[in-house]
Amino acid sequence: MDTVVLDSNIYDRLELDVETRELLSKFVTQGMLQVISTPRIRRELEESPLQGIPDWFPVVQELESVSILPFRLGETRLGKGEVFRAHLGESAKRADAEITDSANAYADVFVTDDRRCRKRAQECAPLCKTLTYPDFKAWLCKFRAK
């Protein structure tokens, strides 16, 4: 089974793309794909117009893959934070670095339309493939043949 982490901006895209959302739901419910979320993604979606993770398909909740102070008890696990530190660099994009570290730890595929986040993830998260939304839609097509 392939695992996918969707950045919060991808849920915005899925809200408007019923066909892809339904295809993804089909693959998740058939056990072909697993969508993973973390506390950071959940919080971002709670603060968005979606007001939380939509119930379009089952989503597995995992802890953040790294504990960086300050952190919320019960939302992180101990991790080395190598991807987090490499992604963060000199920036203040902590959320992107946390999400990328978790995607690298949990997923085969990380989907984001944030250009900077995607570029940094491609450079420092070797364990997962990073895709744009259009690339993700093309990637999903490979499951149609199964």
Residue ranges of domains in the chain: 2-145
Q: Going residue by residue through the chain, which has 146 residues, state the pLDDT in tens, using 9 for 90 and above.
A: 899 999 999 999 999 999 999 999 999 999 999 999 999 899 999 999 999 999 999 999 988 776 554 455 455 545 455 655 554 545 566 667 788 888 888 999 999 999 987 887 887 777 889 999 999 999 998 866 55
Cis check for the bond before 126: say yes or no (omega within 30 of 0): no
For 50, list phi and psi in degrees, rounded to 5: -70, -25
Q: Could you tell me the two tokens for 124? A: 């420092």
pLDDT of residue 28: 96
Fold of 2-145: Rossmann fold (3.40.50)
- Three-state DSSP state, 59: strand
DSSP labels for 87-129?
Answer: HHTTS--HHHHHHHHHHHHH-SEEE---HHHHHHHHHH-TTSE
